[in-house]
Amino acid sequence: MKKKYFLLFIFTFLSFSGPIILRPPNIEDIKYPNNKAPSLNEIKLGKLLFFDTRLSKNKKQSCASCHNPDLGFSDGLSKGIGTHGNPLGRNTPSLYNLAWNNSFFWDGRAKSLEEQALGPIQNPAEMDMNLDDLIIRLESIPKYLELFQKAYTQTEITKENIASALASYQRTLIVNHSPFDQYKKGDINALSPAQKRGLLLFRKKALCIICHNGANFTDGSFRSLGIEDGDSGLAGFTKNEKDFGKFKVPGLRNISKSAPYMHDGSLRSLEEVIRFYNKGGGSAKHKDRLVRKLNLNESEIFDLISFLSSLNQDMKVKRPQLPKD
Ligand code: HEC
Ligand code: HEC
């Protein structure tokens, strides 16, 4: 497409979509498996499991070791580190507002939180725990057996119930009354002047909204920003060459808490992220054509960062008291 028509297309898109689609998330829109919201017992059990290092083979690592609530449900590292101290291939994503998501992992290879949950437990590079052994281990802890029975009315612990409890807990990690949400609900003073300028840039000049839109600032698509680390991304799972280097557009809620950024953790701060976009992204071959030089000046860069911080909402997560062996 010629540049002129391309820009015309973009601006038409923005003028129709811009003002409407960034909004607070609606709890009513969450799709639960079998259309059934989890019970409080399931959520509480899921939280215990999430924080319990006995889910890993050597009892050293829990989900929260990598998805640490004090670090935006991430780990502050460019790439994760497994229970045996080994480095992983990708950055640990944060876990906010995944209740609305329908694909998981940077390459989207899991279709539900239930499907996702058993992955890291069994992965030899992560928690390295065989599920049959995990069930035996959990059943030997009287309190867990009791809690599973209460949550699922089954006498035995099953892998499906472990997955369901973990997923149920993760669906409660919701950010929906950040300053941005309050602003959208009518409190025009909830955003500072810089944040308001940043919101406008996000929607217009900086083109962010094209991919980061909707209540959770992701359209669920897969794109390449041109990062040159050679990670095949979506193609590793679809086996389609045109998907090479594409990754899921991540949501941006509480984003300033989970540095470093991108699937390879190569950008250390939001400032680095914006400067990266401003210069037109990376240079890998499959880069999306929507990623292009933005010509933002210094104060615009800081307005945009300031806007991103309006998506923050403190979430106090108390570490639970775990059942005794
Ligand atoms: C060793 C560190 C580590 C541990 C332990 C770990 N994760 Fe992760 N998690 C990661 C990394 C790295 C990814 C991204 C992997 C990828 O996309 O290929 C990830 C991805 C995820 C995602 C997908 C998020 C998204 O936006 O798509 C969810 C959900 C998740 N983990 C939940 C869990 C749960 C539940 C546990 C415990 C059962 C767990 N993780 C244990 C590092 C870890
Ligand atoms: C063409 C679609 C697209 C556009 C336009 C876009 N992004 Fe992204 N964004 C993505 C994708 C895809 C990723 C993850 C890429 C990766 O890891 O390789 C990402 C990652 C990010 C991250 C890091 C998230 C994390 O958890 O590591 C931030 C922050 C971000 N974008 C903000 C912005 C801002 C601000 C703008 C506007 C200047 C913008 N994006 C424009 C698609 C886009």
Distances (CA, A) of 223 to 112, 244, 270, 319: 20, 9, 19, 36
Q: Which atom of ligand 1 is nearest to the CA of 121?
A: 38
For range 70-93, the mean pLDDT: 98
pLDDT digits (tens, 9 = 90+) for 140-162: 999 999 999 999 989 999 999 99
Structure tokens at 313: 């909402």
Q: Give the pLDDT band of residue 19 (cuts 50, 70, 90).
A: very low
Distance of CA 62 to the CA centre of its chain: 18
Two structure tokens written together for 158 = 């099953």
Residue 145 near residue 139 (C-beta atoms within 8 A): yes
Token pair for 39:
């019970």
pLDDT: is 136 or 15 the higher one? 136
* Ligand 2 pocket, Cβ-based, cut-off 6 angstroms: 93, 206-208, 210-212, 223, 225, 227, 247, 249-250, 252, 255, 258, 261-263, 270, 273-274, 277, 288, 290-291, 304
Percentage of residues in the chain having pLDDT higher than 90 = 92
Q: Distance between CA atoms of 66 and 168, rounded to whole angstroms?
A: 18
Buried b (16+ CB within 10 A) or exposed e, 174-189: bbbebbbbbbbeeeee
- Which atom of ligand 1 lies nearest, measured to the CA of 89? 12
pLDDT value for 194: 98
User: Which residue owns the Cα nearest ligand 1 atom 43?
Assistant: 66
Do the Cβ atoms of 61 and 82 come closer than 8 Å? Answer: yes
pLDDT average, residue stretch 42-63: 98
pLDDT band at 256 (very low <50, low <70, confident <90, very high): very high
- Whether 60 shows a pLDDT value over 60: the answer reads yes
The CA dihedral of 9, 12, 17, 20, to the nearest 10 degrees, is 170
Q: Average pLDDT for residues 289-304, to the nearest whole number? A: 97
Q: How would residue 15 be classed by pLDDT, with cut points 50, 70 and 90?
A: low
Average pLDDT, the chain: 94
**pLDDT at residue 21 in the model:** 81
Classify 214 in phi/psi space as left (phi over 0), alpha (psi -120 to 50) or beta.
left
- pLDDT value at position 4? 63
Q: Rounded CA gap, 321 and 302, in Å? A: 41
Position 249 scores a pLDDT of 97
Q: Which of 45, 47, 63, 264 to mutate to test the pocket of ligand 1 (most atoms within 8 A of CB)?
A: 63
**In this predicted model, what pLDDT tens digit does every residue of 181-226 receive, in sequence order?**
999 999 999 999 999 999 999 999 999 999 999 999 999 999 999 9
Residue of 243, 277, 296, 307 with the most ligand 2 atoms within 8 Å of its CB, for mutation: 277
The CA 120 to ligand 1 mean position distance, Å, reads 6
pLDDT at residue 250 is higher than 50: yes
Percent of the chain residues topping a pLDDT of 70: 94
pLDDT for 2 equals: 60
Q: Supply 168's token pair.
A: 């149920």
